[in-house]
Amino acid sequence: MHPFLLIPLLTLICSCVVASGTVARDADYRPNHVVAWVMACTGLWSVLDIACSLQTDAGAALRIVRLLGFAYLPLAPLALELLARLGLIDAVVWGRTRRFLWAGVAVVAVAHATTPFFIDAVRPAPSGWRYHFGPAFWPGLLLAIGGCAATAVRLMSASDADSDRNLRPLGVILWLPMAVASLTDVALPALELDGPHLGAASIVFTAGLLWLGVFSAGSRDPASGTLARQLLDELPDGVAILRIDGTLRSANARLARILGRGLDGLIGRPASAWLGDDEGTRLREVREMSVDGPFGPRPVAVWESLILDRQDVPIGRVLVVRDQGAVMKLREQLVTAGQLSALGDLAAGIAHEVNNPLAFVLANLNELRRESEALGKLDAASPARALAETAPRIDACIASLGRVVGFVAEVRSFAHQGTGAPILFQVNELVASALRLAAPRLRDQHVVSFEPGELPELRCAPQELKHALLSLLLAVGQEGRERGHIHVRTGATDDGVFVEVETDAPLGERTAFDGAELLLAPGRGAGASLLIPGHMVRRQGGNLRAEPTATGGARVRIDLRDRPAEALA
């Protein structure tokens, strides 16, 4: 075995060590994967050099040598991919041109392996075989060297603002393997001079080892670390890692969902492109703003801070983006709740003022009813007997006023805050009371039915639970676009009771089911969302769930468990 054969053998071993060590050092650092693929190409280059040197037949050696195109031609797109992963070229532009460049490399590599236009013959040499290049070899060589040279120039011109570390030494080192490979693998065979092939070895022992020792670690990379990536993906907020110049270095999946864009379309772009305000990325305090989401403007809260290395030198910035959609809805509901509270106080005052006159009128009507009965006992010829015929009309007036008095009593009871202390109460009575209060709003649009079940008394705060039931009924009733049927039923469970409200009326277009919450269109008045009744039910130790029905309506179920008094206090 010729001593020159040890060079590709050592190169193969070293390329495997560099590739595996680079990925193992920081598997989440995306440029490390590109360097690993470069080492794979040099490993293939070394294997083909070894196989060619061991051949005794010129034809077999020629077929192996022609396969070298699959080893050195991919180095050009891989070098440009490294620049994109480092953020030194526009990731969007590279993403558009990547497939065409790789397609060109594949076509050239196949032609390199199957035609004599690149390597047309091999000749015996003391160290193995010497290549004879065809006319198409030189354009292919320029393709590979051109991509690597462009990478070296860009790395040498990189500033600390362009990247997360000083990459200029790597750019300088890259010229060495290009010079060595051009000399030993191209120039010497072209001049028919014998010598070792050091192209693959120069890449591995210079640029490969330098990357493994200096640049593969994520110590200065603000987005490095597999554990950090897993933690970021578990957060409910969007998190972006920015470079000093404000371009996106990395982000978690939640940020992509908030913005409605893929991560590939965000990385490498300035944060101002999706925040819409560059100053929003430079604040040291929480700021509320709107970003363009998948369904229009989306309210978010943004917070930003610097990332410092061990020498307190800024190396990047972290940007936290919190989706404020639920918060804004809750704010709207709190405003509505405040308005309802004021309206409840006003209704209580009105009910109190109306109650006394109603009682006076009702008392007088009852007196008239008694007098009409007395007149009915007079002689038939008496003119006063005719007044007795007004008795049915008086009865109708008394019945109508009775309904008004009952409704006023319900309003006064509803407006009363109560003590909030849990007591044993019959849930059917609360549902019936809520239905009576909601009847004036529901009877014009819906047919309401109530199917009470056999329920045990439940320990609860009656007033708060009645508020929740009324809000639920109004929410479901107001959202329906067409006249329909609302069916309310109650029943017992193993550990409590349930209340189910179902409507078959199609709901509004803006109605959405989000998990266990039925979110209805805001701004529709009382009960436009189930957030507040859901909160009231949970305070009672229960649960509120909503689901769509086959008719396009909704089914909302409240499950209440009987709990000790101290658990609800």
Q: Which two tokens stand for residue 331?
A: 């704010």
Measured distance CA(50)–CA(2) in Å, rounded: 11
State the CATH class of domain 226-323.
alpha beta
Determine the 3-state secondary structure of 548 from DSSP: strand
Q: Which two tokens stand for residue 473?
A: 């009924």
Question: Does the domain at residues 326-416 carry the CATH identifier 1.10.287?
Answer: yes
Closest CA to 425 of 391, 459, 476, 401: 459
Give the burial string for 73-83 (b: 16+ CB within 10 Å, else e): bbbbbbbbbbb
pLDDT of residue 490: 94
Q: Answer yes or no: are the C-beta atoms of 410 and 344 closer than 8 Å.
A: no
Residue 193 CB contacts under 8 Å (≥ 6 apart), including other chains: none
Fold of 3-215: Rhopdopsin 7-helix transmembrane proteins (1.20.1070)
pLDDT of residue 37: 92
Residue 520: DSSP 8-state: P
Residue carrying structure tokens 């109460």: 425
Closest CA to 108 of 157, 131, 75, 79: 75
User: C-alpha 116: how far from its chain's center?
Assistant: 54
The reported pTM is 0.45
User: C-alpha 563: how far from its chain's center?
Assistant: 37
pLDDT of residue 526: 36
> May I ask the CATH architecture of the domain 419-569?
2-Layer Sandwich (3.30)
Q: Which two tokens stand for residue 544?
A: 């509120």
Q: Which two tokens stand for residue 86?
A: 């480092």
* Domain range list for the chain: 3-215, 226-323, 326-416, 419-569
Q: Do domains 3-215 and 326-416 have the same CATH topology?
A: no
Q: Answer yes or no: are the C-beta atoms of 517 and 525 closer than 8 Å.
A: no
Q: Cα separations (Å) of 492 from 73, 450, 489, 555?
A: 74, 15, 11, 18
Measured distance CA(477)–CA(438) in Å, rounded: 9
pLDDT of residue 289: 75
pLDDT of residue 106: 92
Tens-of-pLDDT digits for all 569 residues of the chain?
567 778 888 989 999 988 888 888 777 677 888 889 999 999 999 999 889 888 888 899 899 999 988 998 898 889 888 888 777 777 778 888 888 989 999 999 999 899 998 888 888 887 778 888 888 888 877 877 887 788 778 777 766 544 545 667 777 877 888 888 888 888 888 888 877 888 888 888 887 777 776 665 544 444 445 555 666 777 778 888 888 777 887 788 888 888 877 777 777 778 777 776 544 445 456 677 777 766 667 788 888 888 876 667 787 888 888 887 777 777 776 766 666 666 666 666 666 677 777 777 777 777 777 777 776 666 565 665 566 667 777 777 877 777 777 767 666 666 555 556 788 889 999 999 888 888 877 877 788 899 999 999 888 888 888 888 888 888 777 655 567 788 999 999 888 899 999 988 765 544 444 444 444 444 443 334 677 788 788 888 888 888 888 777 888 899 998 765 444 44
Q: Which two tokens stand for residue 510?
A: 């803006």
Measured distance CA(417)–CA(462) in Å, rounded: 10
